[in-house]
Chains A and B, each alone.
Chain A
Amino acid sequence: MNPRARLLLGVLLAVLLLLPAFASNYALSVATLILYFAFTGQAWNVMMGFAGQLSLGHSLYVGVGAYVAAAMFVNLGIAPWMGLWVAILVCMALGAAIGFLAFRFGISGVYFALLTIAFAEFTRIGFDHIQWTGGSGGLFLKVAQREQMDLLNFRGPPAMYYYAILFLTIGALAVCAWLLRSRAGYYWQAIRENEEAAQALGINTFRYKMIAVLISSAMTAVSGVFFAFYYNNLFPEQIFHISRSIEIILGPIIGGIGTLFGPILGAFVLTVLADGITEGLAYFGVEVPGVKQVFYGFVLLGVVMFLPNGIWPSLAKKLGVAK
């Protein structure tokens, strides 16, 4: 990293750390949402951006992670810091099952993507019928004592959630930066670029694709647990819906697939602009349902046409922080 990049990163970190001190509750909720998408996008990026395995069903891991931790908390009184690990293990097991099916039987490309959608969809339908988690009626967490902070049970004021997701995002960035420079990172990129050539260079492609899926599903499980305790209500129809999967991947695609800052930048651009447009229209008394989705469509169109590698690579060059 050059000195300029260090400086910019330092300033950004300082602003983010001090944000709750001067931001309104609304601004803080937007920032939390941005970081949630940045973190989840980073998790997806490990699979698609690094290893080239397109998942269009990441809502599966968000949903299962959320439901496992929340159901254990609501029904059994088990604290989320315990439930978190169970959620991670369950999601990794699911990822392993999907990965094994696909990679053992040579399902790749769009067919792999379809498989990930299928898993998310039948899990959505399945959860409609699991009474233990409230079925299609949803699962609710008690919203109480929002002013007192209870870290063990992950209940507290908005700033607590903000800091939690901020540290998760920083952690994910650090882990991904380290992974990219590791042997696994190089192997993933080789598999992404040309699997046959990768295998000829001694790479056990099955193993490394599985590792990517496991890391990605584990990280996404964490964002599911965060989601459950931040929003306090879960409905299968919403959390497993394919539009959620698409929302997760838009950030990294717009920011720059396979880059470290792409998912963060993409989440920022999408959330801020989409919320800005909705708010702006509301200010003028115009309420248009679905304006956010239309906006997503235009941004995606623009990026695909003018910046096919995403916004981050060209922005990095302009800022003079490209390596």
Chain B
Amino acid sequence: MNALLEVHSIAKSFRGLKAVSNASLEVPQGGIVALIGPNGAGKTTCFNMIAGVFAPDTGEILFDGRRIDGQRPDQVCVAGIGRTFQIVKPFAGLSVLDNVIVGAFNRTRHLSEARRIASDILEKLGLGPKRDLPASSLTLPDRKRLEVARALATGPKLLLLDEVMAGLRPTECDQMVEVFRELNVRDGLTILLIEHVMRAVMALAQHIVVLHHGEIIARGTPQEVVRDKAVLECYLGEETEV
């Protein structure tokens, strides 16, 4: 399997604070990879470097074989990477449908076509009945869905999901998992997700990368990772004699 996304030893410091150092990871074409780790581990910083919010200090990022590090977010999106924001950023004054139409315009210039794409995606994510409401009236779980819908509307080859399960009830979480699995299997969508909800991670990811203090401390299949000593230590602390 060839990699759709290759991240080679990227690093980023903020005023001397090393947020991410020497992180490498690969997302195979058609795969689902999860990036996990405790709060402040540098997961979102990694995402922001991939999505073009800021350039890595060192290292390189390849998407579809082409360098994308240092490009602007809109260029990265046009290249085929859609992203959601952990802190949701809906276009509050626009309707739910119009929010998604903005994303769909990445694929077409025509409003009718963009509207059709957006309607399909809203149906898929269960937001169909709320399409004419202003985005500002949505609840947090619905806003998370809207984030996903907007990113999907741009027609990405790779979807970056930043904690979209947070705040969802277990049944809602399972529905969302089902949506992603279907997108992955049926449409061949590749996914890289940051997630704290292990229920979703275990159900979705074929491969997990664990980040701690800006460094990758473990990687492997879900079963391997949850038994990894370093992972258990960073989440639960070292075993000590009492």
Which residue from A181, A182, A198, A205 sits with its C-beta under 8 Å from B102? A198
Is A288 interfacial (CB 8 A cutoff)? no
- With A182-B111, A189-B98 given, is the CB distance from A202 to B78 under 8 Å? yes
Q: Which residues of A contact B102 (CB under 8 A)?
A: 186-187, 189-190, 198, 201, 203
Choose among A186, A196, A200 the residue with the greatest number of B CB atoms under 10 Å from its CB.
Answer: A200
Which residue from B78, B85, B98, B109 sits with its C-beta under 8 Å from A197? B85
Is B207 interfacial (CB 8 A cutoff)? no
User: Are B74 and A193 interface neighbours, CB within 8 A?
Assistant: no
Number of A-B contacts (CB under 8 A): 73
User: Are A194 and B51 interface neighbours, CB within 8 A?
Assistant: no
Which residue from B85, B106, B111 sits with its C-beta under 8 Å from A181? B111
Give the distance in Å from the alpha carbon of A141 to the alpha carbon of B169 in the complex. 73
User: Are B93 and A202 interface neighbours, CB within 8 A?
Assistant: no
B185 to chain A, nearest CB (A): 25
Across the interface, name the chain A residue whose C-beta is closest to B83: A200
User: Are B74 and A197 interface neighbours, CB within 8 A?
Assistant: no
User: Are A201 and B150 interface neighbours, CB within 8 A?
Assistant: yes
Is B90 interfacial (CB 8 A cutoff)? yes
Interface residues of B, count at CB 8 A: 27
User: Are A202 and B77 interface neighbours, CB within 8 A?
Assistant: yes
Is B199 interfacial (CB 8 A cutoff)? no
Give the distance in Å from the alpha carbon of A295 to the alpha carbon of B43 in the complex. 55
Which residue from A181, A193, A201, A202 sits with its C-beta under 8 Å from B92? A193
Is B133 interfacial (CB 8 A cutoff)? no
User: Are A202 and B90 interface neighbours, CB within 8 A?
Assistant: no
User: Are B93 and A201 interface neighbours, CB within 8 A?
Assistant: no
Give the distance in Å from the alpha carbon of A201 to the alpha carbon of B85 in the complex. 11
Give the distance in Å from the alpha carbon of A203 to the alpha carbon of B154 in the complex. 10
- With A200-B51, A200-B85 given, is the CB distance from A189 to B93 under 8 Å? yes
Q: Which residues of A contact B154 (CB under 8 A)?
A: 201-202
User: Using a CB–CB distance below 8 Å, which chain A residues touch chain B?
Assistant: 181-183, 186-187, 189-190, 192-194, 196-205
The 3 closest A-B pairs by CB, nearest first: A193-B91, A202-B77, A197-B89
| A/B interface sample: 18 pairs, CB < 8 A | A183-B114, A186-B114, A187-B102, A189-B93, A189-B102, A190-B94, A194-B89, A197-B150, A199-B74, A200-B74, A201-B77, A201-B153, A202-B74, A202-B103, A202-B154, A203-B74, A203-B102, A204-B74
